[in-house]
């Protein structure tokens, strides 16, 4: 079982490659509703280049395209809109971003091929060509790649929207999240690498005694910021937890939490 342990805190934000340099400050905890379909946003992201720019008109709930090859005042318009809080520039999906998606796909996908494509090769035109030639020879694998790419773009844009306090209305962007706290009997049946991972010390007062582990099952993985936000909300409202960690990998995702009995802090160092 391949696992990755992560710590989540609602005060912190995670940014993927699409969000870098595109966020702007908005009123804390205030989401702005915008009635744009996520598919339109994905298309704008894919079509964005150094000379073709897309902006969300937040008040008008539309996407505006500015093409420097067709508009002599394009650069002036871009600068004006970048400095106007009514508009939010859609991030571009560039060649480096695409190479990252290829690399993550090669890491996870079951590939039946003698070709060895390294991450370094994906930084070159010949490596990208070899990647697509491999897909052409394996139609099922090509479909898996298309699904992987589509999901990754969608998740990165959802995270970017969350980090900019934009809410797309009338759309179910994430599945319903179900969280269940495991009983001691459930925990005993977990793999050793999970159940043997224990809360060790409080990061505030350094207490090392009396801390108990709480483990939860969750039906989704933390693929984007919106899932993280909703997970944190459910844990806070239903279980009184404001700080948690998580196990990713395998067929089941888990959340972990603990609280220092001395000072009440939930920021705990875990170890085997």
Predicted pLDDT at 250: 72
DSSP string, the chain: ---EEEEE-TT-----TTTTT------TT-PEEE---HHHHHHHHHH--SSEEEEEETTTTEEEEEETTT-TTHHHHHHHHHT-TTEEEPPP--HHHHHHHHHHHHHHS----S----TTGGGSHHHHHHHHHHHHH-HHHHHHHHHHHHHHHHHHHHHHHHHTTEEETT---SPPP-EEEPPHHHHHTS-HHHHT-EEEEETTT---SS---EEEEESS---SHHHHHHHHHHHHHHH--S-EEEEESSS-EEEEE---TTT----EEEE-
Q: What digits encode the pLDDT tens for the residues 50-73?
A: 999 999 999 999 999 999 999 999
Lowest-confidence region among 40-44, 154-158, 189-193, 236-240: 189-193
Output the average pLDDT for the chain: 88
Q: What digits encode the pLDDT tens for the residues 19-38?
A: 343 445 445 458 999 999 99
The ranges assigned to domains in the chain are: 36-173, 174-271
């Amino acid at each position: 079982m391949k696992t990755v342990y992560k710590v989540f805190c609602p005060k912190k934000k995670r940014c993927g490659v699409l969000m870098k340099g595109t966020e702007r400050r908005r009123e804390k905890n205030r989401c702005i509703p915008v009635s744009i379909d996520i598919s339109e946003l994905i298309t704008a992201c894919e079509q964005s280049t150094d000379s073709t720019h897309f902006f969300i008109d937040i008040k008008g709930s539309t996407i505006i395209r500015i093409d420097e090859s067709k508009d002599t005042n394009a650069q002036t318009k871009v600068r004006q809109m970048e400095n106007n809080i009514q508009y939010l520039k859609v991030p571009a999906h560039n060649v480096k971003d695409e190479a990252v998606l290829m690399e993550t796909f090669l890491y996870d996908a079951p590939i039946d091929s003698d070709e060895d494509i390294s991450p370094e090769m994906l930084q070159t035109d010949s490596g990208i060509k070899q990647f697509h030639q491999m897909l052409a020879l394996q139609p099922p694998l090509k479909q898996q790649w298309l699904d992987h790419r589509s999901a990754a773009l969608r998740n990165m844009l959802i995270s970017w929207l969350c980090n900019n306090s934009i809410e797309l209305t009338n759309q179910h962007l994430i599945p319903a999240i179900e969280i269940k706290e495991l009983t001691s009997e459930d925990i005993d049946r977990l793999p050793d690498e999970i159940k043997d991972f224990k809360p060790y010390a409080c990061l505030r007062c350094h207490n090392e005694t009396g801390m108990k582990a709480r483990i939860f099952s969750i039906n989704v993985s933390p693929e984007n910021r919106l899932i993280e936000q909703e997970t944190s909300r459910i844990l806070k409202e239903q279980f009184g937890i404001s700080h948690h960690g998580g196990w990713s990998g395998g067929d089941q995702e888990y959340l972990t939490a603990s609280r220092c009995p001395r000072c009440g802090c939930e920021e705990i160092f875990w170890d085997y």
